[in-house]
Structure 1
């Protein structure tokens, strides 16, 4: 379906957070998705993916994850310097700040007239995959899609050690984990740690493995894999359609 896009501002901890919103154009009430970028924030490769999800019938709200450190509207270039800049911003952001941002966007989705407040999910890529998993700790999140999430297995997310894995039993909804077998940032041992924890705690989950590299869903770089991306999208839409029906 056709979509609309806009930007809105939410103030969190006295910092203005830009949120990119993509939503179905037809009038109606739809599930809401808290949607996370990778370390490069909201460039077009990321917003194109948000637009695509919205076209399937979801209100997608994507916050700038480094709004406390970067000027509003900043898109970090995906090159060597950008990688250093993005990783440094991630390192300097407190875990509590990430959690406060998640709560702010979820609360906004719940009051939006086009969102069904009982149907909330989350999705993210790379660090955003970790943030999506962490957002699933919120009791009103029913479904989480975590695409090649970094730092869950190692406890690395921000300024403080992340307690996401020890708290995984707090997830009430379902989790879909998407990994590339060639991803050096989430090696096989790390994937196994995450999956074993989910199994031990009884959290409902599904794991998809593709013969692909890290960030294989970004369409602006050499690691882009269109076949794996299309296959992953089929699974993502089926997952959200089922869990947020």
Structure 2
């Protein structure tokens, strides 16, 4: 499916938040996706994922998660300096600010003429996987995909301690989790804590683990694993198709 691309601006707490939107070219009503990047924001590797997903028939909206700190359009390089910069941006952002951004993107999707407001989901990677977990607290979100979500058991997300894992009972939609078994940022005990807590909260979920490292789905890094990434995307597309179409 061919897609069209645009950038929109949303005002959240008097800060301009750029949102990259990719959507099917053909007119119609499509499910909407709140798409969360990793700490490097909307660079080429992430935009390729946004565009890829949109081609399956979704209006995908990806906000700049550090818009209160970084200038509009800023892309953080995925190197050692960029990693420090991105992690510092994350540390300086309030959890409540992330939540406000989510509400703004969901409101945009609900009012976009190409979106079926009854069929909203979320997809996120790394810190974005954690943000997708929090998006799942909203009743509007029917399906959530969290790829190697960092900081969920510890509450590490922004300023203060995020209460994410204590709120799993609020999740009403379906969830799909993607992990790398060689990921030191989400070791086995953290993965099991997330899964056990989802079970206790009676959240319907699927879990797929691949023999891969952190960020193995990002195609511009040395940890990229094309076979594992392709396998994960097959599961993601099937999951979203089942629950949003």
TM-score band by shorter chain is over 0.9
Please list, as runs of the form range in 1=range in 2, the aligned pairs for 1:144-223 lying within 5 A after superposition.
144-223=144-223
TM-score where L is the length of structure 2:
1.00
Shift of 1:160: 1.5
Distance 2:86 2:107 in 1: 27
Name the CA distance, whole Å, in 1 between partners of 2:212 and 2:22. Answer: 28
Indicate the residue corresponding to 1:56 in structure 2.
Answer: 56
Q: Which residue of 2 aligns with 1:9?
A: 9
State the shift of 1:108 in Å: 0.2
Distance 1:153 1:225 in 2: 26
Runs (5+) with no aligned partner, structure 2: none
Q: Secondary structure at the match of 1:47?
A: helix
Runs (4+) of structure 1 exceeding 3 A deviation are none
Helix, strand or coil at the partner of 1:81: helix
Instruction: Output the TM-score relative to the length of structure 1.
Output: 1.00
Following superposition of structure 1 onto structure 2, how do residues 1-245 of structure 1 map, counting pairs within 5 Å?
1-245=1-245
SS at match of 1:223: coil
Distance in 2 (alpha carbons) for counterparts of 1:179 and 1:186:
8
Cα distance in 2 between the residues matched to 1:157 and 1:5: 29
Taking only aligned residues, the RMSD between alpha carbons, in angstroms, comes to 0.4
Q: What is the total number of aligned residue pairs between the two structures? A: 245
Distance between the aligned counterparts of 1:167 and 1:139, measured in 2? 13
